[in-house]
A and B are shown apart, each in its own frame.
Chain A
Amino acid sequence: MTQLRVYQTEAIVIKRIKLGEADRILTLYTPEKGKIRAVAKGTRRPISKLGGHVELLTHSQLLIARGRNLDIITQAQTINSFMPIKNDLIRLSQGLYCAELVDAFAAEHIESVETFHLFRDTLDRLANSDMSAIALRYFELQLVNYLGYRPQLQSCTLCNKGIQPEINYFSSSQGGIICPQCVHEEVLSRRLSLNALKVLRLWQNCDYAIAVRINVNDELAKELETVIRDYLKYLLEKQIKSTAFLDALKVKPAAIDN
């Protein structure tokens, strides 16, 4: 069977690196081909037909020609530029964080339509709602769901007994909950409040429309962020680079007000 010389796909740009004088190599996340890479020629010049259509965090319809080494983008038309993300530093940092996670977790050419839809919908939520904390945690949990790292939250990962409504523990290396009876066997586990466990279980399984109905106070939000982030870091075996910027923006800067 011969492959067509060109193909069409939707894609969201998750990474760009410079190539030569005026070109870029883009990492794209697509519904049918998963993560792919392609060259966007001339996009570092002011006059480029591709231009903003292949900017980071942009959802576009692309026409791509197969190349000997790398494929080449020949046409691009924006579907959604998620403009509020591009115009707000906090939203932007959150969008970049999601893109980094998709890039880090997704393997090239492994299709996952659910992941594409989750990513697209999350960018839309970050752009158009003020529920970013929930949108991000929901994204993280669902992402690991789809990509095969769903944490075990129903029974103890060590003794398999059902989890009781009490304070339990979460172990990133075991990939789930540890009951109070087993906790001495896993030193690196962290205390998990009953509320946090309930929310994690719900978000792991529900639609986003239900996820946003949960009332999460600051303390609980912090706990959820820490526990999930720890788990992601463990899975990736590395720091997630964009979290540093995400955290830096949470504190008010030492302003210049002279």
Chain B
Amino acid sequence: MEFTTTAEPIVRLIEEFGKLPGIGPKSAQRLTYYLLQSPPERVETLAEAIRGIKQGLRLCSVCLNITDSETCIICCDDNRDRSKICIVEEPADILPLERTRKYRGLYHVLHGVISPGDGVGPDDIKLNELIMRIQKGGIDEVILATNPNLEGDATAMYIQRLITSPQIQVTRLARGLPFGGDLEYADDVTLSRALEGRQSI
């Protein structure tokens, strides 16, 4: 082992960094030695921030996003359109949608996706919460933003099947060719959906 001559706390931190996604042994080592040379306040701030994500966090009582208060920042915002709900699989899916600045409605986080072969059915994700929320009324559009793969589609189709009210428009994020992709490598499901969803320019 190359670490035998290294102090135990250093070895430990390198190991912990190495468990994080996208961080190989080299990066783990670099981060550790970087922190070792940083001022103590800086290390303390980082440690605090890491502890913070597991303390006092809970699910928003409206949309089930992760929040540190009763309702999340988005649901509290009076400028947002409360008649629209965008349905996502995980809390992490909200951030990229927010970054586009194109959507001003609310969200609903399912915390999972229907995956029959893995034994994950409609009752195992936060679908009942969604149904109750829509039943309260005042919703005119439900946007299905589950991932464009088989489980995401199954979940979207299942939700679409539940909503029969003519007052509520059910939409799905456009599916088709990814930006930066290459037509040559597109599969026929993607291509035919891209054709179906073509737009005049």
Chain A residues at the B interface, C-beta cutoff of 8 Å: 15, 20-21, 46-47, 49, 51-53, 55-58, 78, 81, 83, 86, 88-89, 92-93, 96-97, 99-100, 103, 241-242, 244-246, 248, 253-258
Residue of A47, A52, A78, A253 with most chain B CB atoms under a 10 A cut-off: A52
- Docked Cα-Cα span, A49 to B116, in Å, equals 27
- Docked Cα-Cα span, A242 to B114, in Å, equals 11
Minimal beta-carbon separation of B125 from chain A (angstroms): 12
Which residues of the partner chain A approach B179 to less than 8 Å between Cβ atoms? Answer: 46
Minimal beta-carbon separation of B152 from chain A (angstroms): 11
One of A46, A55, A246, A256 near B168 (C-beta < 8 A):
A256
Which residues of the partner chain A approach B185 to less than 8 Å between Cβ atoms? Answer: 49, 51
Query: If A46-B178, A245-B114 touch, does A255 touch B162 (CB 8 Å cutoff)?
Result: yes
Q: Does B150 contact A (CB under 8 A)?
A: yes
Query: If A52-B187, A81-B188, A244-B116 touch, does A21 touch B22 (CB 8 Å cutoff)?
Result: yes
- Enumerate 9 A-B pairs (CB-CB under 8 Å) in ascending A order: A47-B178, A52-B190, A78-B188, A81-B189, A88-B157, A92-B150, A245-B116, A246-B116, A255-B163
One of B116, B119, B187 near A53 (C-beta < 8 A):
B187
Q: Does B55 contact A (CB under 8 A)?
A: no
A242 touches B149 (CB 8 A): no
Query: If A51-B190, A52-B186, A241-B118 touch, does A20 touch B21 (CB 8 Å cutoff)?
Result: yes
Interface size range of chain B in the complex:
35 or more
Which residues of the partner chain A approach B150 to less than 8 Å between Cβ atoms? Answer: 55-57, 86, 92
Which residue of the partner chain B has the closest CB to A46?
B178
One of B21, B116, B164 near A21 (C-beta < 8 A):
B21
Which residues of the partner chain B approach A248 to less than 8 Å between Cβ atoms? Answer: 121-122
Which residues of the partner chain B approach A46 to less than 8 Å between Cβ atoms? Answer: 178-181
Q: Does B167 contact A (CB under 8 A)?
A: yes
B116 touches A96 (CB 8 A): yes
Chain B residues at the A interface, C-beta cutoff of 8 Å: 21-22, 114, 116-119, 121-122, 131, 134-135, 137, 149-150, 153-154, 157-158, 161-165, 167-168, 178-182, 185-190, 192
Which residue of the partner chain A has the closest CB to B156?
A89
- Docked Cα-Cα span, A135 to B116, in Å, equals 19
Which residues of the partner chain A approach B117 to less than 8 Å between Cβ atoms? Answer: 15, 56, 96, 99-100, 103, 241-242
Which residues of the partner chain B approach A258 to less than 8 Å between Cβ atoms? Answer: 134-135, 137, 165, 167
- Docked Cα-Cα span, A255 to B116, in Å, equals 21
Which residue of the partner chain B has the closest CB to A60?
B187
A81 touches B187 (CB 8 A): yes
Query: If A20-B21, A52-B186 touch, does A255 touch B164 (CB 8 Å cutoff)?
Result: yes
Query: If A86-B150, A96-B117, A248-B121 touch, does A55 touch B189 (CB 8 Å cutoff)?
Result: yes
- Docked Cα-Cα span, A49 to B181, in Å, equals 8
Minimal beta-carbon separation of B158 from chain A (angstroms): 6
Which residue of the partner chain B has the closest CB to A89?
B157
B188 touches A83 (CB 8 A): yes
Minimal beta-carbon separation of A237 from chain B (angstroms): 16
B181 touches A47 (CB 8 A): yes
- Docked Cα-Cα span, A242 to B122, in Å, equals 12
B189 touches A257 (CB 8 A): no
A256 touches B165 (CB 8 A): yes
Which residues of the partner chain A approach B162 to less than 8 Å between Cβ atoms? Answer: 253-256
B187 touches A256 (CB 8 A): no
- Docked Cα-Cα span, A99 to B115, in Å, equals 13
Which residues of the partner chain A approach B190 to less than 8 Å between Cβ atoms? Answer: 51-52
- Docked Cα-Cα span, A58 to B188, in Å, equals 11
Which residues of the partner chain A approach B161 to less than 8 Å between Cβ atoms? Answer: 89, 253
Which residues of the partner chain A approach B164 to less than 8 Å between Cβ atoms? Answer: 255-257
Which residues of the partner chain B approach A103 to less than 8 Å between Cβ atoms? Answer: 117
- Docked Cα-Cα span, A88 to B164, in Å, equals 17
Which residue of the partner chain B has the closest CB to A75?
B185
Which residues of the partner chain A approach B135 to less than 8 Å between Cβ atoms? Answer: 256, 258
In addition to A245-B122, A248-B121, 20 A-B residue pairs with Cβ atoms within 8 Å of each other are: A47-B180, A47-B181, A51-B190, A52-B186, A55-B187, A56-B117, A83-B189, A92-B150, A92-B153, A92-B154, A92-B157, A93-B116, A103-B117, A241-B116, A242-B119, A244-B116, A244-B121, A245-B121, A254-B162, A258-B134
